[in-house]
Structure 1
Amino acid sequence: MSTQGPEAGLSTDEAIRAMLLLMPRVVARVKRTPLPERLRPLNLAPRHLSLLAYLLFDGEMTVNALADRLEVAPTTVSLMASDLSRQGVLERRADPRDRRRTIVAITDEPETRAAIEGWLSNGAAAWRTAFASLSGEERAMFVRTVRAYESAASDAAP
């Protein structure tokens, strides 16, 4: 890789090499992030992290809205929400405007909410630092690029 500053740019091959070397370190670091004690017995998977992040940042929402955002079937969200409800992490209730719809929210139990906030705050703080020097357009391009990578990686999976 070039010894010039990042403003010099990277060729496609240099960028691929850099990312292939960097991503395993990023994944390993994320995996080493300790789960708060309250959440350890819950056997959470990455999809649970995304579901909890949506509910924490955007507030309660319907099963269908969560399914759209997570890009999974509503039955998948319903199963995850049922499981986390039984464990006291989420609350499910009928939508008062349409009783056929179910609204999902993080429980009001302070210890659980604090555990979820603490778990997500480590990553949020790291992203805040990483994005601080970027313009809004550069941040948007980064997010689009990671989405495109995730999509291409999913398409390439056997």
Structure 2
Amino acid sequence: LAHCLRKKGVKPETLVGICMERSAALIVGIMGILKAGGAYVPMDPTYPQQRLTYMIHDAGIELLVTQSEASGWVPESVTRICLDSTADQEMLSQESDQNPPIATTPHNMAYLIYTSGTTGNPKGVMVEHHTLINMVFWHQQFFQVTEQDRASQIASIAFDAAVAEIWPYLS
């Protein structure tokens, strides 16, 4: 996925939307975006279409990693990669399975997450890689996370609690 995203122009600071149900494929999608050097924009497929469309336009998203069921609302101007699509799986299978060279720095954006916003419109909050890493290290130390520990991913991917449910246990 990372190689495919790079071929589609993803580089540091490129915002790539991800709109998928909670699953292993969701984690694969996020990791692919980060490995490509991009920053992910988590979007909950249960959100109203108007909110999702607002986020796409506000963030200037041109590429969305998604699944077939969750992509019917996507504007035509946005390129979709559906991880459950046979055609897209075939396209991805042609790519290298090796990690691409690292393209990011600690001060590049890791993700852009939308808050509820006090004016009625959601507000995007940028989080850089060094901030994410600091949270992961703190979480691992405070909760004494070991390689044997596991965690559930319960929060919506579009809620910041999902970050603490995912990354400390994958590192």
Question: TM-score scaled by structure 1?
Answer: 0.29
Please identify which structure carries the higher helix content: 1
TM-score by length of 2: 0.27
Q: Which has the higher strand share?
A: 2
Higher RCO by CA contacts (8 Å cutoff, separation 6 or greater):
2
Of the two, which has the highest radius of gyration? 1
